[in-house]
Structure 1
Amino acid sequence: MSSALYTLGRWAARSRRLVVLGWVGALVLLGGTVGLVQQGLDNSVSIPGTESQAALDRLAATFPQISGASAQVVVVAPDGTTVDDPAVQDPVEDAVAAFAAVDGVAAAVSPFDETLAAGAVAEDRAAALVSVQLDEGSSSVPDATKEELAAVTADLRAALPDGAVASLGGELFSAEFPEPHLAELVGVGVAMIVLLLTLGSFVGAGMPLANALVGVGVSLLLVLGATAFAPITSTTPMLALMLGLAVGIDYALFIVARHQDQLRQGLDIDESIGRATATAGSAVVFAGLTVMIALLGLGVAGIPFLTTMGVAAAVAVGMAVLVSLTLVPAMLGAAGERLRGGRRGGARRRG
């Protein structure tokens, strides 16, 4: 293992242009391919073999009209009045009709319909609940439908007298999947500061970040490309992103730090890169394999979306290992003497 990694590290350092162009070309090729074949993320989740999933499947087969997601609008009358006041009841009835006309809505039930909505009005008549039944499950309802429901609720709120309240909520809005946001970028910035303090130079600090970003880029493109063959939830690329950034920075840091130490001991650049890849690279390989095996263990549960998440995360870790063993030595070769730390290295050589 060590001798093979030593040879790989020296080759990557000497052929750094080829290695860098190879990874850039892989990103471009994958990006173009994924743009053509990817089918988008699918947030529908099922857990085969469980009683709850069997009940949901039976409900969908027997009563398809009520198997979709539901939403509710809570209407509260102004202080001192009730929802039976025409100033409140009339706008609510109009809103019920508007909800029923929204595309994707199976039915909207008025709280004043005692046959279909028994108990939808509070005992003190100060509040009422409008029920909206949709055709699709919560993960399949398009954003356009949610926006239309919110717009009807806003119109209802505007039509109600001062002091009245109309709020939209329910199951439809309680099962949303997380999506990438600004926090990941903040994490990258914090990582840059920590790496700068650890390695003492912008060149050294930038290598682990560049390594992680390339690995994450390739991994996410592979995950998105896999949507052409299987449904993948939005949490899957999130997990691949977070793990890819973490291990990509960590694994590259092993090799860069070892290379810096060896340069300060007076070692030749190519020789130091080879040794760093052979020694720290061996730790990277075994650490990556351990994490990958653990992630693939998610498939033991027999839950499809967990299995998919585990496989995607394992691919991200494996890609981080591969990039660390090739791109990092190439970047170290390009950095040359800038990572040596002239004064310390010179002092040791003179000693």
Structure 2
Amino acid sequence: MNESALETAPGPSALPDIPAKGSDFARLSARIAAAGLLRRRPLYYTLRFGAVGLSGVVCGVAFFALGDTWLQILLAVALSVVFGQLALATHDLAHRQVFTRRRASETGGLITANLLLGMSYGWWMNKHTRHHANPNHEEKDPDVLPDVLVFSKDQARAATGLPRFIGAHQAPLFYPLLTLEGLALSFASFRALREPSMKRPVLEGTLLVIHFAAYFGVLFTALPPIKAIAFIAVHQALFGIYLGSVFAPNHKGMPMIGPEDRLDFLRRQVLTSRNVRGGAFIDVLMGGLNYQIEHHLFPSMPTPALKRAQVITEAYCAELGIPYHQTGLIASHREALRHLRNAGEPLRRRNAGQPPSDNR
């Protein structure tokens, strides 16, 4: 077992072995299907997407009605929430929770991601698909590669460049760094247009250019430069914090998987994921991603079915003795920050001129 799999994770101190039988997920899937939880929910998504679209229209009307005033900063706050909800809508479209057909899903994704958010749908979907296949895998999950942060002590010991500079104090820097998340997604989207994996680089690039031409054009036409810049800063910073705060509780602080670890699909998804309790408000705030375990097991399951699936999945895991981790929103962030702090410990020791710790 890779030492990183044992680091600072709620629940057991080690990942359990795979049982001899290999149909545990199949039996859970049969229970979920029998409960009718995989069928599409067109009315739900019509109402949800309609509400998000209406909110965007209201923000647009309010923007032009307010005109040249610092009250626009309050509108930037509201628009950051709308952008966050658009990102969650893109996520559901990418997983085909809304439409069964690929073309409809891709069309919706290109509109919400590229045109409305300024983020490449194709690039993000490729990245997110790899994450779902190997969550928290140190070599295969792009979300835990040490690009800026380090997620295990092994990564910290090998860190160079930006991760080495930031990793030592990444826990207190985590939320300030999230203010740049929206801009980082847009930058990565433009950079990805040159990658061979991009299927429609011209279309995606055109939509991205239209988005930013409209975004900056409207702001700098309607507002003086100082107010336009302030609007962009507040909007992008809060959008990044919102988006990062929705995704951070899902896996950070849960066991990391090393190259030699062998887990079946059910255990790989359950043991590396964390659910967040909190009721209807959290369901809306996180767009259903608070049921992260169920979402990873059944990515195409519509959001409103996840709550019932959670009850079935937790009971099934109890039958098999599989640890199932669920906590509150604040506690989930504490666990994630504690993990980031522990992961960066080798870098703090190195910066202090101390020998490497034997604590793995």
Question: TM-score normalized by structure 2?
Answer: 0.21
* Larger of the two Rg values belongs to structure: 1
TM-score by length of 1: 0.21
